Amino acid sequence: MSYLEIDSLHTHFTKRSANPFSSKTETIRAVDGVSLTVQKGEILGLVGESGCGKSTLSRTVMQLVRPTSGSITLDGCNLTDLPVSQIRRRRLDFQMIFQDPYASLNPRMTVFATLAEAIKQRHPKSRGSALSQRVAELMETVGLDPRLQRKYPHEFSGGQRQRIAIARALAPEPKLVIADEPVSALDVSIQSQILNLLKKLRADLDLTMIFISHDLGVVRYLADRIVVMYEGKIVEEGEAEALFRNPQNDYTKKLLAAIPSLAESH
């Protein structure tokens, strides 16, 4: 059995008609029958154009949205069977890194407060020097100087803020990290630094990760395996290099053609 198994997952939304006098509703099949697996220690790249359902898929895996049907099993535990009362604690096993670290970090919390809070989610009794030491360790892990722990998010650059967000994601010792377009808002030079950091963390910490991007070039740099999503469905799946060398699906070929040449320089 794989570490993460997603089986025939559907997440549909019901949308009211744009016409206020109509009672008609429309079903949006954001995730429309997705099955995939992730092995422990693997980085799965999930790629597809905006609106194809990538974020909805990750939100469903996190149990932030309940699926319409299908199942999600992590490390042998079927999450779709869990009672609501247990979901909160289970959610610690999944941590997300988002596109915009400025929006996802609390502007009123120092780096120390942010990381301490995230550590305490897993270890509520952690305090004192053990807590400080763990905060410093996490900062070092993501390449930040621990002496900056009393600073606030606005005192950092965009790349540094994303490092803080990554440290926060690691703090509760997740089983799976989902990075949803984590470098899309960053300058190109900073993008490669963050991608290198994720690559290093994966090697050092044996991270299991779903890395989401609309940019196949970025995904290629990091992913062992790539899944291509289109209109809520998986249209192609394969080992990263094989998929690049010999794409089968027309949509994958289109995505490949759209990669800016800078992707080669990562």
Ligand X SMILES: Nc1ncnc2c1ncn2[C@@H]1O[C@H](COP(=O)(O)OP(=O)(O)O)[C@@H](O)[C@H]1O
Q: Which of 182, 253, 248 is nearest to 213 (CA)?
A: 182
Min dist. Cβ of residue 124 to ligand X (A) = 31
Asked whether 33 and 53 are in contact (CB, 8 A), the reply is: no
Min dist. Cβ of residue 4 to Mg ion (A) = 19
Select the residue interacting with ligand X from 3, 13, 102, 244 (CB under 6 A): 13
Min dist. Cβ of residue 167 to Mg ion (A) = 23
Select the residue interacting with ligand X from 6, 42, 47, 54 (CB under 6 A): 54
| 56 counts as binding ligand X under rule CB under 6 A | yes
Stretch in the footprint of ligand X (CB under 6 A) among 46-54, 69-77, 105-113, 184-192 = 46-54
Q: How many residues of this chain bind ligand X (CB under 6 A)?
A: 12
Select the residue interacting with ligand X from 7, 28, 91, 122 (CB under 6 A): 28
15 contacts which partner out of ligand X, Mg ion, none, CB within 5 to 8 A by kind? ligand X
Select the residue interacting with ligand X from 34, 43, 44, 52 (CB under 6 A): 52
Q: How many other C-beta atoms lie within 10 A of the C-beta of residue 180?
A: 19
Residue carrying structure tokens 């897993």: 122
Token pair, residue 189, equals 């030079």
Min dist. Cβ of residue 4 to ligand X (A) = 18
- B/e letters for 93-131, b = 16+ CB within 10 Å, e = fewer, are bbbbbbbbbeebbeeeebbbebbbebbebeeeebeeeeb
Min dist. Cβ of residue 216 to ligand X (A) = 14
Binding site for ligand X (CB under 6 A): 13, 15, 28, 30, 48, 50-56
